[in-house]
Chains A and B, each alone.
Chain A
Amino acid sequence: MNATLSFAPVVAERDVEVISRPSLSYWKDAWIRLKANRRALTSLYIIIALGLFTVVGPLLPFVPSSSTQDLDQISSPPGADRTATIVAPYAPWSGVTVNVPAGDGPLEAPASVSLAGEATTQAVRIFWDPVPGAHGYRVYRNIAHPAPDDALGMPLADVLVASRVSFEDRLDIKPQDYFYSVVPLDRNGREAPVYATVDVSAVRVVTAEEAVRRGLADSAADLAIGDEVRLALHLLGTDYLGRDMLSRLMHGARVSLFIGIVAPFLFILVGILYGSAAGFVGGRVDQVLMRFADFVVALPFLLFMILFRILFKIEGGDSGIAPMLIAMVILSWPAAARLVRGQILQIREEGYVSASRLLGAKTPYLVLRHMIPNTMGVILVTITFAVPSAIFTEAFLSFIGMGVAPPTPSWGSMCNEGLKTMLTHPHELIFPALFISITVLAFNLLGDGLRDALDARMRSQE
């Protein structure tokens, strides 16, 4: 009897198997694997930074408007000196006139060439001793000394009045050294083989009125002639019209990223609907739909882009962004449609779909529960790869002048403008080109990382 007491009822042990780790959903798992991929993660950070650059950047206090022209700092590279001296407003110069000494025989060089007043970026005024017998003078300017090979530089002007022995130069004077040479001209306006040179060191100046207008000082009363001010700061320099590069890059990113993100989303959405319809229905419908997709692939993009411009009556002066977007959506969806169709065809034959169907699942359930989630990875990857190509297309079209309307900047149009000054002011090309490259690379690397992360076959590697 006691023996029976030695038996105790079995306590139900519920925790036979303890799941030692929390269950991982597909997305959580993908995120973990993406985090392990340092390239992809860095790219993600770059893309986030780019978004901030575009949205928050233009609000920063030191970023000027993208269309303001700083004509005193045209094409200035980053980190250029920006001190300027306050001077009186420009006043026309009457010049120097003398009695013409008579003379015959070969023309000689002027005895001397001198600087009148101070050489500034506003004007450089020179005068010289008259040459007997000269009928006029030609004034040259160079950035290096003419000796030893008599390279006088660029001819600024002909002074065709013999009694006038002065010249005022206002042509694009930079704060640097210049060498002005004066050559006497004979009766027929031909140069004598002699010249006299003066070297001049121009200083950067700005008028008090101008300084106040640009916000460099509070009131003109605070500024005395000779005071030093610092011109507006341009972190990345300025372009060919003195517009701030940083600000233009920020505004340009808006266009580039807008096209780069909106266009792929739209055409991939179209592609998903089209491809899943073709793949799910299958058969003859599938054949017809996919042959139509093949037909669309064969259409030339540029031609359509131009046709849409005409269709939408895009005149010069209007932005070409809308036709660009529409042309991209209309012509780019077949790639996504083919991809989705392929996936759907494959999934349709999977065992779990058959099982689900046997259990009585309806079509909407099958599509929403099984088909779409399983194609999601492919779709996401396609988007990340479509983004850089869309950015590239926008840059290319703006580059050939079919994109944004001035003064709106875009990276592509900035490259086009920078190309012309590539040799003299490389920063105007390098910065937009760099931004395009980095953005495209970041999206590509992120897409690469996403493809690895979303690949279900790599799942068990924990």
Chain B
Amino acid sequence: MIFINSGSRRFGKRFVSGALGTAGAASEAPGSRKGIAWLGEGSQLFILSVLGIGAFVLLMALLSWASELSGVGGAGEAVDPTTGTITLALTTEPPQLDSTRATDMVSGQILGHVMEGLVRYDEFNRIVPGVAERWEIGESQAIFHLREDSRWSDGSPVTAHDFVFAWRTAVAPATASEYAFILYPIKNARAVNEGELPVTAFGAKAVDDHTLAVELERPIGYFDKLVAFPTYYPIKQDFYEGRDGRYGADAIDLLYNGPFIIERWVHGAQLRMLRNDAYWDRDRIHLNAIDYAYITSDVNATLNLYKDGKVAIAGLDAETLHDALEQRWKLERFNDGSVFFIEFNHRPSRLTHNRNLRKAIQFVVDPAELVYKVIKLPGNTPGESLFPVWLKGVNGYFRQEYPAPEHRVDLARAHDYLERAKQELGIDPLPPLIFLSGDNPAANKQSEYFQEVFASRLGIEVKIDRQIFKQRLAKMTAGEFDMVLAGWGPDYADPLTFGDLFASWNKNNRGAYVSAELDAWVAVAQSSLVPEERMQAFDEIQKIIYDDAVILPNYERGSVFVRNPQLKGVVRRAVGTDPDYTGAYIVDG
């Protein structure tokens, strides 16, 4: 502090002496002109520095002006009826758009607009024809008849070879696709993926340009739903190989067969899609352009953009909800289909391997309290089961036909279990458990809530380990946790997308739960074609998950958002492209 003072004083003195010298020569001159006379070392230094700073500021101004000219054009209005353009915000940028390697929801959202698979979901979430005009799915083979007018954005037809190439690329061990397992129902897919068989053994073949024959590993009742998934999208071989490993990295590194094409992709800033005139069903598309002009995960920032009329849709959280109510906006609610839960680490080296400890924890957790008092966002529903409420059962909803096991907080039973766990483990008191959690406001709030619940109701100390998504996933895979706040979103509209999650062979079973009984029921659900038998198997899985306290369901996630009233026809769905703007249109108003 003192240091800086004396330093500046010295500089000031030198300047003053210089100025005094000038003042003698031109005493009537105004102060600003005094410095101009090149007298005294001090004034020279001063002028040079002023000039230097001035030039620097000018340069910066010029640079920012130039970048505005050449760079991203200013974003337009949220909805523009004259040009048919809507402006939106993306939460994050897709890492890349190669459908064989895409894993995240944002990639799925973009790919769903620029690509089309054999089938797609319509606005009522029914499977409707996409590139395939019609199809027959038998016990050991599925035949897809492709339409002849489906075109790539370069004008060439979409053929059965494009599908075979894409699927082979996805299962090829060199691609190391995280979603290769979704192709496993196809004959030999698993063996090819694990390097046991050559890629030529893969069970999908192009009979001719417009007929695709798929050999199945086992009878599968939901294969039509499965082929709507992004990993099943086609890729044109010539183009893929011509990109020299850059396929999907940029707008020019992609060939499109969907309703839209990517016109411009400025990494980290903007992604703009234009209507694809080569798309066979182009009359279905009303919008001319979708402009993701902002990339931000900040809920407040997005909401402010919405307020300023810059984006057409904005998500809300518990904090911004109040503001939205006061603005008297129309709010919409949507259940995104995913289930969030506390997953235990079942590895034998961990304390949570002990069933009694897990049961003790189970009996102090109250999902209703978490959802109604802590999360406070409408749309979330208290978790009761691994299977969310929207899954279809035999006739109606699965959860109505097979209700989840009843759960109530019971402190006496919890302490009973805890005592037994301590005896079995021979440890008293228990060392702190590691509670792995995400690093975002919502996860922070939930993890701190659970920390206090375990401490006050069971006397178990918990250490919260906050990690960003990738790091959390790495730690989950390595088993460096006791409990983790995890979630699972559906890949296809069948209960099996949740049901096989804790099978011992599933790579996403990061708690390494092993149960022969559960594996047997998963096998039934996989291979049976009788709906009643399958649903019975899912019910057994549901019961095992509860009885063994494999996971503790927390909530089924919902979201609340505001939409520009001029924008209609936006489809939100749990499975498939979400949000889906392909059928959206703008009304005047």
Query: Which residues of A are at the interface with B, using a C-beta cutoff of 8 A?
Result: 67-69, 71, 74, 141-144, 149, 151-158, 170-172, 188, 240-241, 315-318, 335, 338-339, 378, 381-382, 385, 401, 405-407, 417, 420-421, 423-424, 447, 451
With CB as the reference atom, state the residue of chain A lying closest to B446. Answer: A241
* CB atoms of A151 and B319 under 8 A apart: no
* CB atoms of B373 and A74 under 8 A apart: yes
* CB atoms of A241 and B445 under 8 A apart: yes
* CB atoms of B333 and A67 under 8 A apart: no
Task: Give complex CA distance A285, B570 in Å.
Answer: 74
Residues from chain B with Cβ under 8 Å of A407 in the complex: 448, 451-452
Known A143-B326, A171-B372; further 10 A-B contacts with Cβ < 8 A: A68-B452, A68-B456, A71-B369, A71-B374, A141-B378, A154-B333, A156-B378, A240-B445, A317-B435, A405-B463
Q: Sorted from nearest, which 5 A-B pairs have the closest CB atoms?
A: A317-B463, A316-B465, A151-B328, A155-B333, A172-B376
Residues from chain B with Cβ under 8 Å of A170 in the complex: 368, 372
Q: A339-B2, A420-B441 are in contact. Are A155 and B331 (CB under 8 A)?
A: yes
* CB atoms of A157 and B368 under 8 A apart: no
Residues from chain B with Cβ under 8 Å of A69 in the complex: 449, 452, 456
* B455 CB within 8 Å of chain A: yes
* CB atoms of A151 and B434 under 8 A apart: no
Residues from chain A with Cβ under 8 Å of B352 in the complex: none
Q: A156-B378, A406-B444, A406-B447 are in contact. Are A317 and B3 (CB under 8 A)?
A: no
* CB atoms of A155 and B378 under 8 A apart: yes
Instruction: List B343-377 residues whose CB lies under 8 Å from chain A.
Output: 368-369, 371-374, 376
Instruction: List B173-227 residues whose CB lies under 8 Å from chain A.
Output: none
Residues from chain B with Cβ under 8 Å of A71 in the complex: 369, 373-374
Residues from chain A with Cβ under 8 Å of B543 in the complex: none
Question: How many Å from the CB of B315 to the closest CB on chain A?
Answer: 13
25 contacts between A and B (CB under 8 A): A67-B452, A69-B452, A74-B373, A144-B326, A151-B329, A153-B325, A154-B325, A154-B331, A155-B332, A155-B333, A155-B378, A155-B560, A156-B378, A171-B376, A172-B372, A172-B373, A241-B452, A316-B463, A317-B463, A318-B463, A381-B1, A382-B2, A405-B464, A406-B451, A424-B322
* B439 CB within 8 Å of chain A: yes
Q: A153-B331, A241-B374, A241-B449 are in contact. Are A401 and B323 (CB under 8 A)?
A: no
Task: Give complex CA distance A447, B373 in Å.
Answer: 46
Question: How many Å from the CB of A189 to the closest CB on chain B?
Answer: 8
Task: Give complex CA distance A24, B230 in Å.
Answer: 86
Query: 1/0 per residue B374-394: CB within 8 Å of A?
Result: 101011010000000000000
Q: A153-B331, A172-B372 are in contact. Are A315 and B124 (CB under 8 A)?
A: no
With CB as the reference atom, state the residue of chain A lying closest to B451. Answer: A407
With CB as the reference atom, state the residue of chain A lying closest to B462. Answer: A317
With CB as the reference atom, state the residue of chain A lying closest to B453. Answer: A69
* B466 CB within 8 Å of chain A: yes
Question: How many Å from the CB of B13 to the closest CB on chain A?
Answer: 18
Interface size on B, residues (CB 8 A): 49
Q: Which of B325, B456, B465 contacts A317 (CB 8 A)?
A: B465
* B477 CB within 8 Å of chain A: no
Residues from chain B with Cβ under 8 Å of A157 in the complex: 333, 378, 381
Question: How many Å from the CB of A207 to the closest CB on chain B?
Answer: 13
Question: How many Å from the CB of B128 to the closest CB on chain A?
Answer: 15
Task: Give complex CA distance A74, B378 in Å.
Answer: 17
Question: How many Å from the CB of B187 to the closest CB on chain A?
Answer: 39
Residues from chain A with Cβ under 8 Å of B376 in the complex: 171-172
Instruction: List B435-483 residues whose CB lies under 8 Å from chain A.
Output: 435-437, 439, 441, 444-445, 447-449, 451-452, 455-456, 463-467
Residues from chain A with Cβ under 8 Å of B124 in the complex: 188
* B321 CB within 8 Å of chain A: yes
Residues from chain A with Cβ under 8 Å of B2 in the complex: 339, 378, 381-382, 451
Task: Give complex CA distance A382, B328 in Å.
Answer: 55
* CB atoms of B465 and A339 under 8 A apart: no
Task: Give complex CA distance A132, B445 in Å.
Answer: 44
* CB atoms of A143 and B325 under 8 A apart: yes
Question: How many Å from the CB of A71 to the closest CB on chain B?
Answer: 5
* B330 CB within 8 Å of chain A: yes
Residues from chain A with Cβ under 8 Å of B455 in the complex: 67
Residues from chain B with Cβ under 8 Å of A316 in the complex: 436-437, 463-467
Task: Give complex CA distance A288, B368 in Å.
Answer: 66
Query: Which residues of B are at the interface with A, using a C-beta cutoff of 8 A?
Result: 1-3, 124, 319, 321-326, 328-333, 368-369, 371-374, 376, 378-379, 381, 432, 434-437, 439, 441, 444-445, 447-449, 451-452, 455-456, 463-467, 560
With CB as the reference atom, state the residue of chain A lying closest to B322. Answer: A424
* CB atoms of B560 and A154 under 8 A apart: yes
Task: Give complex CA distance A250, B182 in Å.
Answer: 54
Residues from chain B with Cβ under 8 Å of A143 in the complex: 325-326
Q: Which of B3, B331, B332, B448 contacts A338 (CB 8 A)?
A: B3
Point out which of B323, B376, B439 has the most chain A C-beta atoms below 10 A from its C-beta: B376
Q: Which of A172, A315, A385, A401 contacts B439 (CB 8 A)?
A: A401
Residues from chain B with Cβ under 8 Å of A423 in the complex: 319, 322-323
With CB as the reference atom, state the residue of chain B lying closest to A123. Answer: B372
* CB atoms of B319 and A424 under 8 A apart: yes
Task: Give complex CA distance A188, B571 in Å.
Answer: 13
Task: Give complex CA distance A339, B439 in Å.
Answer: 42
Question: How many Å from the CB of A214 to the closest CB on chain B?
Answer: 11
Point out which of A170, A317, A378 has the most chain B C-beta atoms below 10 A from its C-beta: A317
Residues from chain A with Cβ under 8 Å of B436 in the complex: 316
Task: Give complex CA distance A68, B455 in Å.
Answer: 10
Q: Which of A149, A241, A381, A405 contacts B328 (CB 8 A)?
A: A149
Task: Give complex CA distance A338, B331 in Å.
Answer: 61
Residues from chain B with Cβ under 8 Å of A154 in the complex: 321, 324-325, 331, 333, 378, 560
Question: How many Å from the CB of B380 to the closest CB on chain A?
Answer: 9
Residues from chain B with Cβ under 8 Å of A241 in the complex: 374, 445, 448-449, 452
Task: Give complex CA distance A421, B444 in Å.
Answer: 14
Residues from chain B with Cβ under 8 Å of A318 in the complex: 463
With CB as the reference atom, state the residue of chain A lying closest to B1. Answer: A385
Q: A153-B331, A338-B3, A424-B322 are in contact. Are A406 and B372 (CB under 8 A)?
A: no
Residues from chain B with Cβ under 8 Å of A68 in the complex: 452, 456
Task: Give complex CA distance A240, B449 in Å.
Answer: 10
Point out which of A158, A338, A420 has the most chain B C-beta atoms below 10 A from its C-beta: A420
Residues from chain B with Cβ under 8 Å of A420 in the complex: 319, 441
With CB as the reference atom, state the residue of chain A lying closest to B324. Answer: A154
Question: How many Å from the CB of B474 to the closest CB on chain A?
Answer: 13
Question: How many Å from the CB of A402 to the closest CB on chain B?
Answer: 11
Question: How many Å from the CB of A275 to the closest CB on chain B?
Answer: 12
Task: Give complex CA distance A101, B452 in Å.
Answer: 49
Residues from chain B with Cβ under 8 Å of A338 in the complex: 3
Residues from chain A with Cβ under 8 Å of B372 in the complex: 170-172
* CB atoms of A421 and B319 under 8 A apart: yes
Task: Give complex CA distance A316, B371 in Å.
Answer: 25
Residues from chain A with Cβ under 8 Å of B319 in the complex: 420-421, 423-424
Q: A67-B455, A71-B369, A154-B331 are in contact. Are A424 and B448 (CB under 8 A)?
A: no
Question: How many Å from the CB of B134 to the closest CB on chain A?
Answer: 25
Residues from chain B with Cβ under 8 Å of A144 in the complex: 325-326, 328
With CB as the reference atom, state the residue of chain A lying closest to B327. Answer: A151
Question: How many Å from the CB of B302 to the closest CB on chain A?
Answer: 15
Task: Give complex CA distance A172, B323 in Å.
Answer: 16
Residues from chain A with Cβ under 8 Å of B332 in the complex: 155
Task: Give complex CA distance A149, B455 in Å.
Answer: 48
* CB atoms of A317 and B464 under 8 A apart: yes
Question: How many Å from the CB of B384 to the closest CB on chain A?
Answer: 12
Task: Give complex CA distance A378, B6 in Å.
Answer: 14
With CB as the reference atom, state the residue of chain B lying closest to A316. Answer: B465
Task: Give complex CA distance A378, B3 in Å.
Answer: 11
Q: A153-B325, A381-B2 are in contact. Are A406 and B560 (CB under 8 A)?
A: no
Question: How many Å from the CB of A341 to the closest CB on chain B?
Answer: 11
* CB atoms of B463 and A171 under 8 A apart: no
Residues from chain A with Cβ under 8 Å of B323 in the complex: 423-424
With CB as the reference atom, state the residue of chain A lying closest to B463. Answer: A317
